[in-house]
Amino acid sequence: MRSAAIVLALLLAGNAFAHGGEDHGDGAAATPAAAVEAGPRATAASEDFELVALPQGDKLLIYLDRFATNEPVAGATIEIESGAFKAVAAAVGPGVYAVTGDAFKTPGRHALTITIETDAKSGGISDLLSATLDVAAPKAAGGDSDIRSPLAIAGLGPTTLSLVVAVVLLAIGAIAWRRRARAGTEGPTP
């Protein structure tokens, strides 16, 4: 019984230490990947440009860079079309542009047609990109759309759970061993 408990505890403890590629530094605690939500975004690329569009409040932010060098593209003229919506983006930073409007707050799939023109200083390149912005419906408050186990809510993943089980089994084995040892020394008196 005792040896079986020790073997089981060692097997479970082995799972607790069998991992790699994790940063064990003093940095901020990592959020479990399942709990991290990436907001809606649209991406597009061509031989010349890479573009990422992110809705933020009543704006659509557009990040534009050169495909080959990842260098931000400043001084470009960017026109966005989606259904009846049509607007020219304003530069808000190097390689960052914004379009104001509530058109991209509505849940659903928004097909985007993006026209890019750079000035002669930036190479005088024109390009036409297309992307789809998929905006999810907001989650209902108190709804059951985020069902997680009580262990996941408490932050206990499989590795931590294995370690806890191993410690509990070792403690039970130690108690059983001490009782058996005590019973052996307190044997029948002649």
Residue-range domain boundaries for the chain = 1-17+154-190, 42-135
Q: Residue 165's pLDDT is what?
A: 74
CA distance 103 to 59: 9
Partners of residue 131 on adjacent β-strands? 112
Burial 50-73, CB ≥16 within 10 A → b, else e: bbebbbeeebbbbbbbbeeeeeeb
> Which residues are CB-contacts of 89 (< 8 A; sequence separation ≥ 6)?
60, 62, 78, 79, 80, 97, 98, 99
Answer whether 0.85 is exceeded by the pTM: no
Q: What are the tokens at 145?
A: 């759309």
52, 53, 55, 61: CA torsion to nearest 10: 100
Length of the chain: 190
Q: Residue 121's pLDDT is what?
A: 74
Q: Residue 31's pLDDT is what?
A: 46
Enumerate residue ranges in the chain where pLDDT < 70.
1-38, 122, 139-161, 163, 186-190
Q: Residue 116's pLDDT is what?
A: 94
CA distance 66 to 94: 12
Domain 42-135 fold is: Immunoglobulin-like (2.60.40)
Q: Residue 41's pLDDT is what?
A: 86
Q: Residue 34's pLDDT is what?
A: 43
The phi, psi pair for 177, rounded to 5°, reads: -65, -45
147 alpha-carbon distance from chain centroid? 17
End-to-end CA, the chain: 29
